[in-house]
């Protein structure tokens, strides 16, 4: 895909603490083009469109350990 730039979340300012923890502990690779975020399981995989920053938050929280 062209026009995608690797995007690193550097602190929990953009994400909730829980979503940022999941991001930090994962091998997910995020990319951005315009306002759209893309994600891949790791930097070697092909990224797919995820959506907005809110979609990134929701996606990461799916992987959060809720103590269950």
- The proportion of the chain whose per-residue pLDDT surpasses 90, expressed as a percent, equals 84
Of the listed ranges 6-10, 16-20, 45-49, 63-67, the least confidently predicted one is 63-67
Q: Is the pLDDT at 1 greater than 90, yes or no?
A: no
The predicted model scores a pTM of 0.87
Candidates 31, 36, 28; CA nearest to 63 is: 28
Handedness of CA 62, 27, 15, 37 (dihedral sign): negative
What is the overall mean pLDDT for the chain? 91
Token duo for residue 51: 């959506």
Q: Indicate the pLDDT class of residue 12, thresholds 50, 70 and 90.
A: low
């Amino acid at each position: 895909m062209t026009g995608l730039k690797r995007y690193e979340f550097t602190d929990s300012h953009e994400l909730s603490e829980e979503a940022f923890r999941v991001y930090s502990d994962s091998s997910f690779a995020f990319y951005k083009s315009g306002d759209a975020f893309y994600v891949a399981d790791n930097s070697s995989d092909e990224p797919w469109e995820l959506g907005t920053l809110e979609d990134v938050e929701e996606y990461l929280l799916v992987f959060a350990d809720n103590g269950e």
